[in-house]
Structure 1
Amino acid sequence: MSVRNILVAFNGSETALSALKYAAALAGDIAHVTALLAYSTHETVDSRAAWVPAKARKIIAEANAEILTEIETRFDAARDALGLGSRLHFERAPGRVDMVLSQTARNYDLLVVGQDLSEEVDTHVILHPDRIALLSGRPVLIIPEGYEADAIRQHAVVAWDGGRAAARALSDGLSLLQGKGRVTVLTVGQTTETLPVPDVVRHLERHDVVATHEQIAADPGIARALLAYCREQAPSLLIMGAYEHSKFREDFLGGVTARVLRDTPVPVLLSH
């Protein structure tokens, strides 16, 4: 898949700015980038209720509008430095934020979002990358706050466990792997005897991606092992499948996906 049409979830946060800059670097001289401000219209207090004075309704409406205007102003301030010209677009869309982004992403090659740092943004524009990956059917690229986009093509890691989600992530990430200086197929706590890793390496080679295999111990757990590897090796991209088990089970027990997304120091391409 050639990446020509990129969607960015833009809610004005620092992580959203990092995601926008990364998407612009990824776009190069070809792709279009659309920044989408998805926002909720839900109100804790129904301002349309009969008992709410007209003056109060006006104040609430103006406050909500001001939040969105400030976010768009922040986008405009970053526009020129991105260097995309007419290939950079901005849109607003009301609704349930995760659902709006998931549905819109189906018309794009890739959705780029910032890490979920909910405490930093207004509740009307909070988004959840892991939920979006489950709902959208498209690959979601999560960018840590402040990540330098110029490291985009140095070293990629494919977290491989032989599962359906990992296979989907590998397929979705092929276009991002092509042209990488170095690609590692990483297994955690499993060996080539239990996984067809040579087949994966050969598959990548047939797509002009030269890869090597590396195995690490699943100690003190898969998520922590992955995060420790990323901190030590500093790859420019981690590709992994999302929620091989149900999201409810992973949320309840504590899953690999949520832990990696919360603490990752590097961009993560997530597919389900």
Structure 2
Amino acid sequence: MPVMNFLVAFNGSEGSVAALRYAASLAQIDGAHVTAMLAHTSHEVIDRRSRWIPKEARALLEQANSEVLRGIEELFDRECRALGLSGELQLKDVTGRVDTVLSEAARYYDMLIVGAHDDTDDEHVTLHPDRIALMSGRPVVVVPAGYAAGARHSHAALAWDGGRAAARALSDSLRLLEGKSRVSVITVGQHGGWPIADLLKHLDRHDIEALHEDFPEWHPVAATLLAYCRRQDPTLLVLGAYEHSKFREDFLGGVTAEVLAKTRIPVLLSH
């Protein structure tokens, strides 16, 4: 496999720690390059530049901002030492709207690796993987908090409905999977007009052993994917994000949101 270039988002959350460990595993197994980034807003609840704010208050605000970021940086350094990456991996500090910063930065890498969104994360560093996948044009690997199985993609599950987003996700995942994986192609009900045998042949030509797991259309898609992953324990779920529209999925409680909220394994998300 050609050497890949990954960006990992680190914001001090449990999910970002899992994402950093996952990225380190990819670097160890495949010789990938990894860059780490801390994207954050300014942590200001008031405009400290206002002439009405006393100089002492401005100093306290600046100190508080610095201490929050310093704590994240110290955690990053500890994790790097534990992973044997001390001195090899630097943390880029970028201020701005977090999802926008990461979406724009991701375009200069093969893939972005992030921790799953957590409502308890500090609002100034929190990120939304689904929004980033929509905005960036790059695949996003979402790693759940506590995931510690590394990045050996011996068995992946591919959610397939024959649509554009599913095809994009498959294409984005091939460099991780080809030559070393088996893939379970999961369909629920209708899955496009072309025979599934053509997809299995496509995977075979990429040196990937593939099999088809078909479920009746009355099965809820998200619940079916999650249950399959719990039973079969694949190391990666490949998923096309928001095939119709994010507004519709959010309004109706869509597949993408439910899978990301409940997954126990990394999800490669593409749109």
SS in 2 for 1:150: coil
Aligned to 2:45: 44
Asked if the contact 1:33–1:87 (Cα under 8 Å) also holds between the matched residues in 2, the reply is: no
Residue 52 of structure 1 deviates from its aligned partner by: 1.9
Q: Is 1:102 the counterpart of 2:103 in the alignment?
A: yes
Residue 88 of structure 1 deviates from its aligned partner by: 2.3
Report the Cα distance in structure 2 between the residues aligned to 1:257 and 1:11, rounded to whole angstroms. 23
| Closer, same or farther: CA 196–43 of 1 in aligned 2, 3 Å | farther
SS in 2 for 1:183: strand
Aligned to 1:76: 77
Report the Cα distance in structure 1 between the residues aligned to 2:180 and 2:261, rounded to whole angstroms. 25
Residue 64 of structure 1 deviates from its aligned partner by: 0.9
Q: Is 1:57 the counterpart of 2:58 in the alignment?
A: yes
The answer to which of 92-101 and 204-213 deviates more is: 204-213
SS in 1 for 2:259: helix
Asked if the contact 2:40–2:95 (Cα under 8 Å) also holds between the matched residues in 1, the reply is: yes
SS in 2 for 1:59: helix
Residue 21 of structure 1 deviates from its aligned partner by: 0.3
Asked if the contact 2:25–2:151 (Cα under 8 Å) also holds between the matched residues in 1, the reply is: no
Asked if the contact 1:18–1:144 (Cα under 8 Å) also holds between the matched residues in 2, the reply is: yes
Aligned to 1:113: 114
Residue 220 of structure 1 deviates from its aligned partner by: 5.0
TM-score by structure 2 length? 0.93
* Residue identity opposite 1:6 in structure 2: F
Residue 97 of structure 1 deviates from its aligned partner by: 0.3
* Residue identity opposite 1:46 in structure 2: D
Q: Unaligned regions of 5+ residues in structure 2, if any?
A: none
Residue 223 of structure 1 deviates from its aligned partner by: 1.0
Report the Cα distance in structure 2 between the residues aligned to 1:78 and 1:38, rounded to whole angstroms. 18
Report the Cα distance in structure 1 between the residues aligned to 2:181 and 2:105, rounded to whole angstroms. 32
- Matched ranges for 1:17-166 at <5 A: 17-28=17-28, 30-41=31-42, 43-84=44-85, 87-119=88-120, 121-150=121-150, 152-166=152-166
Aligned to 2:230: 231
* Residue identity opposite 2:82 in structure 1: A
* Residue identity opposite 2:109 in structure 1: Y
Task: Encode CA deviations 1:127-167: one digit per residue, 9 max, x unaligned.
Answer: 00000000111100000111123362231011100000000
* Residue identity opposite 1:185 in structure 2: V
SS in 2 for 1:44: coil
Q: How many pairs does the alignment contain? A: 270
Asked if the contact 1:21–1:149 (Cα under 8 Å) also holds between the matched residues in 2, the reply is: no
SS in 2 for 1:16: helix
Report the Cα distance in structure 1 between the residues aligned to 2:45 and 2:220, rounded to whole angstroms. 40
Report the Cα distance in structure 1 between the residues aligned to 2:142 and 2:179, rounded to whole angstroms. 20
Q: Is 1:13 the counterpart of 2:24 in the alignment?
A: no
| Closer, same or farther: CA 85–76 of 1 in aligned 2, 3 Å | closer
TM-score by structure 1 length? 0.93
Asked if the contact 2:48–2:61 (Cα under 8 Å) also holds between the matched residues in 1, the reply is: yes
Residue 62 of structure 1 deviates from its aligned partner by: 0.8
Task: Encode CA deviations 1:233-265: one digit per residue, 9 max, x unaligned.
Answer: 111000010001111111112111111111111
Residue 61 of structure 1 deviates from its aligned partner by: 1.1
Report the Cα distance in structure 2 between the residues aligned to 1:179 and 1:148, rounded to whole angstroms. 23
Report the Cα distance in structure 2 between the residues aligned to 1:110 and 1:2, rounded to whole angstroms. 14
Aligned to 2:254: 255
SS in 2 for 1:35: strand
- Large movers: runs of 4+ above 6 Å: none
Report the Cα distance in structure 1 between the residues aligned to 2:118 and 2:141, rounded to whole angstroms. 15
Residue 123 of structure 1 deviates from its aligned partner by: 1.3
Residue 86 of structure 1 deviates from its aligned partner by: 5.8
